[in-house]
Chains A and B, each alone.
With several copies, the nearest count.
Chain A
Amino acid sequence: MTRDPVYMDHNASTPVRPEVAEAINRHLGPAFGNPNSIHRFGRQARAAVEEAREHAASLIGAASPEEIIFTSGGTESDNWALRGAISAVEGRGHIVTSAIEHPAVLDTCQLLEKSGVEVTYINPDQKGLVSVGEVAAAIRPDTRIVSIMWANNEVGTVQPIEKIGALCRERGVLFHTDAVQAAGKLSIDVNSARVDLLSASGHKINAAKGVGFLYIRNGVHIDPIITGGGQERNLRSGTENVPSIAGLGEACRIAKKEQPFESREIASLRDKMENEICERIPDVVINGDPGNRLPGTSNLGFLGAEGETLLIRLDLEGFAVSTGSACSSGSTEPSHVLLAMGLPKNAVQGSLRISLGWGSTEDDVNRLLEVLPKAVERVRSIAPRARTASGS
């Protein structure tokens, strides 16, 4: 009797909703035209792209669909916001960001440093929270852009985006936020948050991989990084990914409608799971800010265990979780997020991210709870300290 594997890694990627798959398939079928073609196949494709743009705009409270530019995903959006903002002005400039950003932001900042741009990386507190005061103190006369993620992908901590937005507006500095993990999970309003640039990605909100968007506030100018055919109002060239864009639009439409309810459900499932885990397993710490997190994210430190080994043991038992970000498959280093939060080494090493989302059920959680205590015990027993530890 093999049961279906249980997917608990929604921060890495999410299953595609059937309505989204349907929208995609419409444009893999007879409606396959190039949206830039004049004929009916083209007009049909164009209408789908523009409808998707409206849904995306509505999800984040953009004033106009024109402010949404479709990209190949969150990574491109992040790159574009930073590279485009730097390249649009004379001089090298300065960037303020945090040490817990996704590599799409962090690595790009580091590369920009090589070409002379200066970057200030703000460390968060132990809960993963970036201080507005530290952002304020970091802004200089030559600061071109502040980039602080809406919510962190590893621990789920939600940043004080409205306050940072107000600060940047006051100081006349562009404000970009990587909302790849927040969109569709939290209620987002780019106007009350005074965000100038916002990145989002399809595959984190039950749409497809390889599609996303960058919100660019009307009046904000950044240089394009992919040029050519002049698509997307000359801001992002390349034949539009019509099927995936149509799917993303559908996902945004659904998220807009269902987010408050779904988020509540998911958060309470996550809380139940965490409570049970902490009750059944000794020496577990919750990483992040328990009172201020993405609804489905649970990052736990199993002291004395090693995360990857635990992950693989769970995988063979039919549970998909992760040790942190899934983006850098090659990475052997401990999580830069947990390190930047100043966590002790054993909490970092033993950390596991369990992320729930659309489709997660109470049964999934119950099944995990059956298996996890033994798995943790077994993995802990491998470690050198096992000898001196109480149990075995």
Chain B
Amino acid sequence: MATDDYHYNETVLAHIADPHNTGFIEDTDCIGTGTNPACGDEVTLYLEFDGNIVADAKMEVLGCGAITAAMSAVTDLVRGKTVDELLEVTPEVITGSLGGLPKHKRHCARLAQRVIQSAVKNRSSNQ
């Protein structure tokens, strides 16, 4: 098929229509947040650890389709990962797991990564 740098692909569309792991986790201190002032996006990520390993992840998003898809993908990606491994979840990894994002939406993957880092930082600072 012809290249399409304008539209969401089917994977992204499926994430947006039915984002994974929406909601929140009570009693966790591992919470990351992020905003994108230009679009008005607001994002929260909740991680629950079992020892050093992410056991559960949930997210809330009020933002465009791309950030919704990115956060949905993140909640899948982080499961089973150690804190060190979490730092390896780069924007490229997130975009890759979505099969790509339109050019003008790639910043959403960067926001999603910052939210992971924010969560990790909040946890560490409380340990």
A and B in contact, CB less than 8 Å: yes
Interface centre among A65, A329, A384 (most CB of B within 10 A): A384
A387 to B65, CA, bound (A): 20
A-B complex: 8 closest residue pairs judged by Cβ atoms: A50-B2, A383-B62, A51-B2, A384-B60, A316-B17, A330-B104, A312-B16, A308-B65
Residue B3 is within 8 A (CB to CB) of chain A in the complex: yes
Given contacts A312-B65, A382-B61, A384-B42, are A42 and B16 in contact (CB under 8 A)? no
Interface stretch of the complex, out of B18-26, B80-88, B90-98, B118-126 = B18-26
Note all chain B residues with C-beta closer than 8 A to A49. 2
Distance to closest chain B CB from A315 (angstroms): 7
Task: Check A126 for interface membership: any CB of B closer than 8 A.
Answer: no
Report the bound CA distance from A378 to B19 in whole Å: 10
Convert B10-34 into 0s and 1s, putting 1 for each residue whose CB lies closer than 8 angstroms to a CB of A.
Answer: 0001101111001110000000000
Restricting to A1-56, which residues have a CB under 8 Å from any CB of B? 35-36, 38, 42-43, 46-47, 49-51, 53-54
A to B CB contacts below 8 Å, 15 in the list: A38-B7, A46-B6, A50-B4, A51-B1, A306-B63, A308-B16, A309-B61, A313-B16, A329-B6, A332-B104, A334-B39, A345-B40, A348-B40, A386-B60, A387-B24
Q: What is the CB-to-nearest-CB distance from A313 to chain B, in angstroms, rounded to a whole number?
A: 5
The 8 Å CB contact of A316, one of B13, B66, B103, is: B13
Query: What is the 8 Å Cβ interface bit string for chain B, positions 47-84, against chain A (1 contact, 0 not)?
Result: 00000000000001111111010000000000000000
Residue ID in chain A nearest B105 by CB atoms: A332
Q: Is the CB of A384 within 8 A of B62?
A: yes
The digit string for A299-313, where 1 denotes a CB below 8 A from any CB of B, is 000001010110111
A104 to B2, CA, bound (A): 27
Contact A333 B39 (CB under 8 A): yes
A42, A330, A332 pick with most chain B CB within 10 angstroms: A332
- A383 and B60 form a contact (CB under 8 A): yes
Q: How far is the CA of A43 from the CA of B102 in the complex (A)?
A: 13
